[in-house]
Amino acid sequence: MKKRLNLLLVIFLFVSFIPLLANGEAAVPIERQLPRLIDSAGLLTNEEVEKLTEKLDEISKRQNFDVIIVTVDSLKEGYTSTEYADDFYDFNGFGMGNNYDGILLLISVEKRDWAISTHGYGITVFTDAGQKYMVDNFIVYLRQGKYYKAFDKFAYLSDDFITQAKTDKPYDSNNLPKKPMSPIWILVSILGGTLIAFVITEIMKRNLKSVSKQRGASKYIVDTVMSPFANKDLFLYSIVTKREKPKERNLSSTGTTIHKSSSGRSHGGSRGKF
């Protein structure tokens, strides 16, 4: 039953992916034509598809920003993964708001291609450095065949990146999120600190010398003579005035490489192999 549904979905995708012509130019749909999760390659179970679709819908509606995942068996002949992802985004009406804001992750199984396509505000949200950070976090699961875990990680990071851009400034090379420390390293740090402290205290204990009782005060007299006629210049303090050096401003509006799709729209994005 699932194979039959996948076949029908592939046929539907092929038909819907063909640009409509209006006055000799490609017509881009105004509204979204397909669900936000399209698993035409059959990488997920029915339960995983349902669960992940709900998550993508929730994030997209709450953020007013489309987050889409598409899997296919192979790319359309003559297309790169970036070109396929861009056109899939444009010609299926994805994107929310006046600028059709969104991000799409494409997975092509045949040659193990992945591609990310961003549009509208997505170009600002997902910088080149930010996309690399995201891919580094989920590609290990793609290589292991843990597709649901990879897609769930992509959805989680997308949500985090959108929130970051709206509340502060987009993640970029100078402010990428820090990876949480492994519990193993926390344990190693505690044990290491305890060992170092023990060694230091033992050394200090060995260097201690016994103190004997003194019957006279001669041991405590300083061998210097105080003279009322001594004339010395003493340095008491200084005042230092500091001024902040003006910082150089980055005049570029975004750290994202931008290109044009076949529809003439501007997209950001990246691609690679898994």
User: Within a domain: residue 68?
Assistant: yes
Q: What's the pTM value of the predicted model, to 2 decimals?
A: 0.68
Q: What confidence score (pLDDT) does residue 28 get?
A: 82
Domain enclosing residue 111, as ranges = 2-178+255-273
Least confident interval from 115-119, 193-197, 221-225: 221-225
Whether residue 211 is predicted with pLDDT greater than 70 in this model: the reply is: no
Instruction: Report the alpha-carbon distance of residue 125 to residue 118 in Å, rounded.
Output: 9
Q: Is residue 77 part of a domain?
A: yes
Residue 189 lies in a domain: no
Per the model's pLDDT, the better-predicted residue between 249 and 31 turns out to be 31
Sheet holding 258-260, edge to edge: 37-39, 66-72, 102-108, 113-119, 266-273, 258-260
With cut-offs at 50, 70 and 90, classify the pLDDT of residue 215.
low
Residue of higher predicted confidence among 198 and 266: 266
* Cα 89 versus chain centre, distance: 21
Measured CA distances, 102 to 143, 175, 254, 257, 271 (Å): 25, 22, 16, 16, 17
Q: Is 170 among the domain residues?
A: yes
- Give the range among 72-86, 102-116, 174-188, 256-270 with minimum mean pLDDT: 174-188
| 20 within some domain | yes
- pLDDT of residue 175 exceeding 80: yes
Residue 60 token pair: 């997209």
Tally of structural domains, the chain: 1
**Whether residue 259 has pLDDT greater than 80:** yes
Q: Inform me whether the pLDDT recorded for 142 exceeds 80.
A: yes
pLDDT number for residue 196: 73
pLDDT category of residue 75 using cuts at 50, 70 and 90? very high
Q: Locate tokens 């891919």: which residue?
A: 135
> How large is the average pLDDT for residues 237-260?
62
Confidence of residue 219 (pLDDT cuts 50, 70, 90): low
Higher per-residue pLDDT: 31 or 156: 156
What's at 134, amino acid-wise?
A: M
Asked if the structure places residue 220 within a domain, the reply is no
The pLDDT value recorded for residue 27 is 74
**pLDDT at residue 185, as a whole number:** 47
Residue 189 has pLDDT above 50, yes or no: yes
CB 127 within 8 A of CB 111: no
Per-residue pLDDT, averaged over 145-154, amounts to 98
Among the ranges given (98-107, 170-179, 181-190), the one the predictor scored with the smallest mean pLDDT: 181-190
Question: What is the domain-level CATH number for residue 11?
Answer: 3.10.310.50
Mean pLDDT value across residues 73-87: 96
Question: Average pLDDT, whole number, for the chain?
Answer: 81
Per-residue pLDDT tens digits for 7-38: 445 444 544 554 444 344 457 888 899 999 99
On whether residue 261 sits in a domain, the answer given is yes
Query: Residue 273 has what pLDDT?
Result: 97
Evaluate whether residue 245 is within a structural domain. Answer: no
